[in-house]
Structure 1
């Protein structure tokens, strides 16, 4: 019945709402329960009443058997005739099956049953007897008793018409009450589901009224602490996320437009001037155009990287990466392109990462340090607590604690680095953190013991970890064009005095 109700609800699903489907399933379930419960009740009631009638007949048969054994047939016959009853008839049959004693003349001619149990045994049968005034439904208990001439049988008949009528009355009552009960269930479910859906409809109406111009509004949370309250709370959390995302998106679009406007304006001006300029001026303007195009290309690439990260499409292709090799590559690049002094302290470390993105993150951190350093950039790589730790320090202005998270936001340039020429587009640190976090790593602003500005990068090691090799510490000046390095014990960098470029 429940399966039928569910199938019907599924078939009518597009036509019925949640309220009607709930009522249909509830009524189907209660109908099955009533059918099973009512059937079980009627069966138990009938068995109980018939067992009660059997018990009465067996008790009467036991009394007659006792009297027959102790007092004999004549006195038993006299006693039976002296206690006539319209609801209980007794017969005593001799070994040949003839009636030798009875409790009423109504049963004096024909045996009540064909049952002939052995001595000491009894049996019960349902017999249709129409001439005893109680209808045709009787329960007859037969008990065998040993007498001098063989085995006599005592038969006791009791009517069960009243018991059957009682069962029928209960069945009719159940049939009459079931529709009323089903109507009550349907009405209750209809009201309860409707009340719950009113709260859901109220939440839906409130959410539907919230658009991009009204993202500050929230759904009213009922004080019931139930599923409806949980739904309202979840909707508010979702609206909080949408508001933050909308604000970030607008800021991102605004900042990206602002960053692109400057090179576009420069390109437009340079192109207009190059049209009527002489060859020398045109060559100079073409150099400016190429520089601005490179700047725009880098900005667009950075924006695409961040957009893929927002779409969770920036899946890392991890492998074993020698982080110390990447650090040495950046050190060589910095020596060749910068006037800053470099201090380097590196131990061999292998990590589990995406090499191109890790290299990009490392380059962004090194470029940031070089851009803000006064004279010196320091790179130190070590293994601490099972993690690869790279510290990128510079002797420039430190980042205040209040700005240490904000500096990783997009298009953020702190007060002392507002110049676009010196401060870049404000995307390098955001890309570095995004690239590292997709590889189970991270980068934070930390405190350096000597008061320098420090960015600390952490990454998990490559599985399985390999033993560290001899460490190499090198320091050189770009002017010399060579690196100074000395092997040391495993994991132990050798301190070198940096060569001042100045």
Structure 2
């Protein structure tokens, strides 16, 4: 039953809309405020009026007591009718409670049974029918001594007028509440409508923006409120979309350019191979075609890896990774496949990360060092603070400081030493940085004390949340290799 009620309320609220819900909430708040405030106002008003009535009765009683002290009881009683007030009834009683003097001759009985001590005052609210004005009265009683005897003075003040005043105020509040609610509802309807008008303008502007008009931006209202924040957020989102669109267009253009060269080579070689009858020439052409196919296969694989990175469509499988085994394996592989002088300085280090997203960036860095080294490559693994630090150094040309961040962009080659003829497509470092970043690490080009080219890879030693980025499987990463470590060169 509760779930059904909540479902109905949710559907009803969604049909009413923001404007209607705002009006409803404002009306409910005003009704509650009127009920609480009006009730409190009436109670305070009634209490104040009753206190004023009691103060009037006490003042009248004190006046009579002063006259008794000054003139005596007989003179005061004789003058009561002459000093009578139309809104109050004054009685003087003897010690037995009998009326010996009254401001109204028709009143011959005591109004209250209260008998206070001399100098004190008692008050009570009574419904008295014996007076000319029937209704509720406030009766104040006090005692006074005169000529060795005790007398009581009673003053009755009507409270009908005060009650009528409270009722009148209550009626006015009830009558004015619908008008106030209507005014509040109209004001909220108009104000929310004006606020939503700005939101509607933002919606229309965004709806008109497409891939051909990503340069358009929203007008930010001068008000420093949520609407202005929404416009600023939408503009920031459009900036990111525009930057992403430019990067995507550049990526497609660069990928097309990279694929055009091997495709042209394959087309030309296939055409020449079909025309020639010389087996030696045909063999060379086939070798050329195979080399271009290998190159295209690697390029397409890298493009698919970057596409998965951009799509965020892969999950991670973090585990404990012995980083020293990976670095040692890459050093052994490089010694086997090249004639370079490879030196290592490796400390036992373990990180919590996805193996494939650490192994492939490390391999890409080692391949890059092999490609640009003049004769030496040095691999160093150590710890620094809370990070595992891998330095991949080569004695080739140093990267200029202004290019140290741009080198990780896609299809970037900085000089003639980094051309496709050397085997690079300009994607390896981009894939390496994406993989390291997905594991909460950092990859950058830093200074080397000897002026070599140094790439620094940092990974946290403690587990950290990883993002859903994919850098593909490790290119040929294998299990741990045996120890084969040398001191640094």
Partner of 1:254: 253
Partner of 1:116: 114
After TM superposition, list the pairs within 5 Å mapping 1:22-37 onto structure 2: 22-37=22-37
CA-to-aligned-CA distance 1:46-104 (integer Å, 9 cap, x gap):
11111111111123223434555776543332132332222111123344443222111
Change (3 A) 1:287 1:137: same
In 1, are the aligned partners of 2:378 and 2:488 still within 8 Å (CA)?
no
Change (3 A) 1:37 1:280: same
**Which sits farther off after the overlay, 118-127 or 408-417?**
118-127
- Paired with 1:26 and 1:417, the residues of 2 have a C-alpha distance of 72
**Which sits farther off after the overlay, 204-213 or 98-107?**
98-107
Partner of 1:458: 458
1:49 matches 2:49 = yes
**Displacement of 1:416 after TM fit?**
1.2
1:426 matches 2:423 = no
Change (3 A) 1:111 1:334: same
| Count of aligned pairs | 462
Partner of 1:438: 438
* CA RMSD of superposed structures (Å): 3.7
**Displacement of 1:275 after TM fit?**
9.4
- Paired with 1:319 and 1:29, the residues of 2 have a C-alpha distance of 56
**Displacement of 1:263 after TM fit?**
5.3
- Paired with 1:71 and 1:401, the residues of 2 have a C-alpha distance of 113
**Displacement of 1:227 after TM fit?**
2.6
In 2, are the aligned partners of 1:387 and 1:461 still within 8 Å (CA)?
yes
**Which sits farther off after the overlay, 76-85 or 292-301?**
292-301
- Paired with 2:389 and 2:427, the residues of 1 have a C-alpha distance of 23
Q: Which SS does the other structure have where 2:445 is aligned?
A: strand
Q: Which SS does the other structure have where 1:217 is aligned?
A: coil
Q: Which SS does the other structure have where 1:106 is aligned?
A: coil
**Displacement of 1:14 after TM fit?**
2.9
**Which sits farther off after the overlay, 359-368 or 197-206?**
197-206
Change (3 A) 1:135 1:260: farther
- Paired with 2:11 and 2:390, the residues of 1 have a C-alpha distance of 63
Unmatched runs of 5 consecutive residues or more in structure 1:
1-5, 464-482, 487-492, 496-502
After TM superposition, list the pairs within 5 Å mapping 1:213-362 onto structure 2: 213-260=212-259, 294-312=294-312, 316-339=316-339, 341-352=340-351, 353-362=353-362
In 1, are the aligned partners of 2:328 and 2:484 still within 8 Å (CA)?
no
Change (3 A) 1:439 1:52: same
Q: Which SS does the other structure have where 1:335 is aligned?
A: helix
**Which sits farther off after the overlay, 431-440 or 307-316?**
307-316
**Displacement of 1:167 after TM fit?**
1.8
Partner of 2:191: 192
**Displacement of 1:427 after TM fit?**
1.3
Q: Which SS does the other structure have where 1:85 is aligned?
A: coil
After TM superposition, list the pairs within 5 Å mapping 1:370-449 onto structure 2: 370-385=370-385, 387-417=387-417, 419-449=419-449
1:101 matches 2:101 = yes
Change (3 A) 1:164 1:10: farther
Change (3 A) 1:386 1:161: closer
CA-to-aligned-CA distance 1:388-426 (integer Å, 9 cap, x gap):
433323333332333221211122223415743424222
In 2, are the aligned partners of 1:143 and 1:154 still within 8 Å (CA)?
yes
- Paired with 1:291 and 1:150, the residues of 2 have a C-alpha distance of 136
Q: Which SS does the other structure have where 2:399 is aligned?
A: coil
- Paired with 1:13 and 1:424, the residues of 2 have a C-alpha distance of 60
Change (3 A) 1:451 1:494: closer
- Paired with 1:451 and 1:144, the residues of 2 have a C-alpha distance of 112
1:19 matches 2:15 = no
1:87 matches 2:115 = no
- Paired with 2:306 and 2:435, the residues of 1 have a C-alpha distance of 9
Change (3 A) 1:170 1:245: same
**Displacement of 1:192 after TM fit?**
2.4
Partner of 2:369: 369
Unmatched runs of 5 consecutive residues or more in structure 2:
1-5, 464-482
In 2, are the aligned partners of 1:314 and 1:438 still within 8 Å (CA)?
no
- Paired with 1:401 and 1:485, the residues of 2 have a C-alpha distance of 32
Change (3 A) 1:268 1:151: farther
- Paired with 1:458 and 1:66, the residues of 2 have a C-alpha distance of 99
Change (3 A) 1:222 1:126: same
TM-score by length of 2: 0.81
**Displacement of 1:462 after TM fit?**
6.2
**Which sits farther off after the overlay, 267-276 or 211-220?**
267-276
CA-to-aligned-CA distance 1:146-202 (integer Å, 9 cap, x gap):
789997543211112221222223223323333333333233323322222222222
**Displacement of 1:438 after TM fit?**
2.0
1:212 matches 2:228 = no
